[in-house]
Structure 1
Amino acid sequence: MRLLLLSNSTAPGHGYLEHAREEIADFLDGTRRLAFVPYAGADHDGYTAQVTRALAPLGVEVTGVHTGSRPAEVVADADAVFVGGGNSFRLLSALHHHGLVDAIRARVGAGAGYMGSSAGTNMACPTLRTTNDMPIVQPPTFDALHLVPFQINPHYLDPAPDSSHMGETRAQRIAEFHQENDVAVLGLREGTWLRATDDGLTLGGIEAGAVLFERGREPVEHRPGADLTRLLRTPAVFDSADR
């Protein structure tokens, strides 16, 4: 298993994927053919063109899975798969509709790299239940790719002490998740990412790092370079109503 899971694809003052350029270049080293999954957005051709431009300096050939009559075959022929950000509900619905959940899991299990950003990072989890997105469509199930056994909250925002907003903070929403589910949730702040192999899980990115939420425990801050391998070894327990 080789995973690169980005919290975000664009950072202030940087072009698309530029803030993680070195990490992406290292992750995709040796990759010739990359299957891009654009279904989190509405303009599949435009989204694929954006990814193609961003990865052109790496010598990677990008093919949008939507360009073939059988998207799963595009995945099967790729050295790596990149699932882009956008709306997680629309993305997961399309993954199930096009038979890509099993196809991606099989290809990654056979050694292909998986790169996700935002919604694409959500998809690497067992379920999309920790997304920030509005359910603009209804997927057949919340079950996602389950490439890792824990949950991620991309774009994690810390509570603003001076804010007059009366809605739940991200931390409160994750606490509600833990009222029903016993599985770790890693809040990835902007500019951070996870790099995973069969043997380990490491946090990378900006100094702000990430915060780990676990049921019955106080949140724990982690900085870039943190070894989070134990999260790969901890089984997830979900509410039985949906799983």
Structure 2
Amino acid sequence: MELLLLSNGKATEYPGLLGWARERVQSVLARKQVKRILLIPYAVIRSDWDARALELTESLGVEAISIHHFDDPVAAINQADAIFISGGNTWRLNQLLHEYSLIVPIQRAVRERGVPYVGWSAGCNVATPSIRTTNDMPVCNAAVLPALGLFPLQINPHYLDASISGHMGETRDERLAEFCAVNPSEHVVALREASLLQISGEAIEYWSARGQDFKIFKHGEAPQEFMDTAPLAGLTPFNPKV
């Protein structure tokens, strides 16, 4: 498989959509000889889908076209050179992936044909077994459904461990601890802004444009911080990239 799971799409110090990870994304596209990107922008609610595709094209130098232009979205997946899933609202995204019957076609494209999958924010969330660790509000009447399951662990994108003065609600750490308490057999990988997990074949690598760590949450244990993927070796079928 070729997966790039990014915490976010934009970073203030790096211009352009995916600008902070541009070199890594372009490297995958070049290696896989991708001529056109199929963009799935279903998570985008208050912006234009074609504008998002154009923004991606201009940033990466490879044409991107939104899936809504195809009469048959399943056929579009089956013919895709690369699948990019945008950030936005994870609930809406996952709902439409199921309603348009795209879960299995995407799984087959990535697992069987080796089609590169690049997902940021909501697109990162749906690459995991479920959307239970999204930060988003459930804006639509959709049940918590299984997601794509391309990556075997839950991910929490946009992870932030700062405390806001005057805020009396739960911190992100407390929310993730609640998830682990309810699901004690599961781990959660928390990705800070401008960081990603890259899976290529059987190898997994972590990279942060800002040189920051990621965290792993597990019930009954204090969250631990890491800069390399060695701790994920026993939790996933992937081997740390050396």
Q: Displacement of 1:207 after TM fit?
A: 1.3
Instruction: State the secondary structure of the residue aligned to 1:231.
Output: coil
Equivalent residue for 2:116, pick from 104, 113, 119 = 113
Contact 1:185 1:212 in 2 (8 A): yes
Q: Displacement of 1:141 after TM fit?
A: 4.1
Contact 1:192 1:204 in 2 (8 A): yes
User: Residues of 2 paired with 1:139 and 1:198: CA distance?
Assistant: 33
Q: What's 2:134 paired with?
A: 131
Letter in 1 for 2:174: Q
Q: What's 2:204 paired with?
A: 201
Letter in 1 for 2:229: A
Q: What's 1:214 paired with?
A: 218
User: Residues of 2 paired with 1:184 and 1:229: CA distance?
Assistant: 13
Which range moves more in the overlay, 167-176 or 178-187? 178-187
Contact 1:202 1:229 in 2 (8 A): no
Equivalent residue for 2:189, pick from 186, 189, 199 = 186
Q: Displacement of 1:174 after TM fit?
A: 0.6
Instruction: State the secondary structure of the residue aligned to 1:155.
Output: strand
Matches within 5 A, 1:8-47: 8-15=8-15, 16-29=17-30, 30-42=33-45, 43-47=48-52
User: Residues of 1 paired with 2:158 and 2:217: CA distance?
Assistant: 15
Runs (4 or more) in structure 1 with deviation over 3 Å come to none
Equivalent residue for 1:168, pick from 143, 159, 170 = 170
User: 1:109-166: per-residue Cα shift (whole Å, max 9, x none)?
Assistant: 1211110000000010000000000110133542100001110000000132x62211
CA RMSD in angstroms comes to 1.6
User: Residues of 1 paired with 2:202 and 2:21: CA distance?
Assistant: 22
Matches within 5 A, 1:58-137: 60-110=62-112, 111-137=114-140
Q: Displacement of 1:219 after TM fit?
A: 0.9
For structure 2, the 5+ residue unaligned runs are none
Pair 1:150–1:164, CA change in 2 (3 A): same
User: 1:76-107: per-residue Cα shift (whole Å, max 9, x none)?
Assistant: 11121100100001111111111111111110
User: Residues of 2 paired with 1:121 and 1:233: CA distance?
Assistant: 18
Matches within 5 A, 1:219-234: 219-223=223-227, 225-227=228-230, 228-233=232-237
Contact 1:201 1:232 in 2 (8 A): no
User: Residues of 1 paired with 2:170 and 2:143: CA distance?
Assistant: 27
Instruction: State the secondary structure of the residue aligned to 2:158.
Output: coil
Identity level (%): 39
Instruction: State the secondary structure of the residue aligned to 1:35.
Output: strand
Contact 2:38 2:80 in 1 (8 A): yes
Q: How does the TM-score come out when normalised to structure 2?
A: 0.89
Q: Displacement of 1:229 after TM fit?
A: 3.1
User: 1:150-203: per-residue Cα shift (whole Å, max 9, x none)?
Assistant: 10000000132x622110111100111112112110110001000013422211
Aligned length: 229
User: Residues of 1 paired with 2:39 and 2:171: CA distance?
Assistant: 33
Q: How does the TM-score come out when normalised to structure 1?
A: 0.89
